[in-house]
Chains A and B, each alone.
Chain A
């Protein structure tokens, strides 16, 4: 059982530690406490000061950009969307377009005097560089598809430049199911499956977004 005086002292000590007392009240508080209580309060104050003095850590450099990439996946630059479309549809057109060729086409469309496309969205150097670079691995993300009768299933996506040459092969899991796990850094990635090297299929089990050319891509967000 706690005595009333102890409750009162505890409350006074709480208010002292909460910073609710002014200087004269703090002095009075100290005067009213026993030597043991006083020592305990000062030791407590010292320990809590150590907690309050913890330095603020620097924020990971890519935190904000990862957040914005996740919440604004549809707002990719026009050049990126053209690139997706070309690379995604090149297998359908019977073409095997490499990254460099696609970059050239994108540049041509963007910079053409005929203004095939809006001139504001210029292709940046980093944008082109990103096409040829698979980002460093991070989280393991699983992809799977039920594809009866398929001889091969692969994954084409932002992270491999939508290239069928650099596509990731899914493994047969039995009962017409195919799957693969890919390590990806944080971000949002649009993707599709390529069946037998030519038929593009959107993942029916994933969230889908328009690719602005009348088709849908599946989208996965790694956080």
Chain B
């Protein structure tokens, strides 16, 4: 059990800022799952998601003194992660980095407690959803992920994407319409 396990994110950040860089490991442990999953669903590429997850935590550590505590630390991390992912896509002139989903069946597979038949169905469904996401523009994809996968509120998304609530509502509406259309086309 780590020493920082009972501390809040803010207490650990304060520890890090006092020079105890090792304390940061607990923050990485707590939030790596969220960061990696948002990135994987956003980029659709396992290796790139791993690289950008690492870059996100490294960048967050280096500018930890700028974290003002107005949002949750997880929201701040998510913002850094998505900024980096968007930069990567822009740099490569792409909307997503789909990799071969078959390569990652192990990580995409449904949970073990289901029957083999159901597991297969769920794995197919998960694969289809990821393919739908990969076909969508990045600015629609990110809003769906933040809202429906991570459960962020409109207010949190406003802070995270630095835009207005009206913009979020319009973008969400359009993103949902597009998601539904592609999802149904792929059935």
Interface size on B (CB < 8 Å)?
45
A63, B81: Cα distance in complex, Å: 14
Q: A48-B148, A68-B25 are in contact. Are A54 and B36 (CB under 8 A)?
A: no
Q: A14-B173, A63-B32, A67-B58 are in contact. Are A51 and B22 (CB under 8 A)?
A: no
Range of interface residues on A (Cβ < 8 Å): 20 to 34
Q: Cβ of B1 < 8 Å from any Cβ of A?
A: no
Whether the pair A63, B36 counts as a contact (CB closer than 8 A) is yes
Whether the pair A64, B107 counts as a contact (CB closer than 8 A) is no
Q: Most A CB atoms within 10 A — which of B29, B54, B147?
A: B54
Whether the pair B149, A51 counts as a contact (CB closer than 8 A) is yes
Q: A44-B176, A68-B28 are in contact. Are A60 and B147 (CB under 8 A)?
A: no
Cβ of A53: which chain B residues have Cβ within 8 Å of it? Answer: 125-126
Q: Distance in Å from the Cβ of B179 to the closest Cβ of chain A?
A: 6
Q: Cβ of B118 < 8 Å from any Cβ of A?
A: no
Closest Cβ neighbor of A40 among chain B residues: B180
Q: A14-B172, A47-B184, A50-B129 are in contact. Are A71 and B58 (CB under 8 A)?
A: yes
Secondary structure call for the A interface:
helix
Interface residues of B in 19-41 (CB under 8 A from A): 21-22, 24-25, 28-29, 32-33, 36-37, 40-41
A59, B36: Cα distance in complex, Å: 7
Whether the pair A54, B41 counts as a contact (CB closer than 8 A) is yes
Whether the pair B147, A18 counts as a contact (CB closer than 8 A) is yes
Chain A residues within CB distance 8 Å of chain B: 10, 14, 17-18, 43-44, 47-48, 50-60, 63-64, 66-68, 70-72, 75, 186, 221, 223
Q: List 16 A-B contacts (CB under 8 A).
A: A14-B172, A44-B180, A47-B184, A48-B144, A52-B149, A54-B130, A56-B33, A59-B36, A60-B36, A64-B28, A64-B29, A67-B58, A68-B24, A70-B58, A71-B24, A221-B58
Closest A-B pairs by Cβ, 5 of them: A67-B57, A47-B183, A57-B107, A47-B180, A64-B28
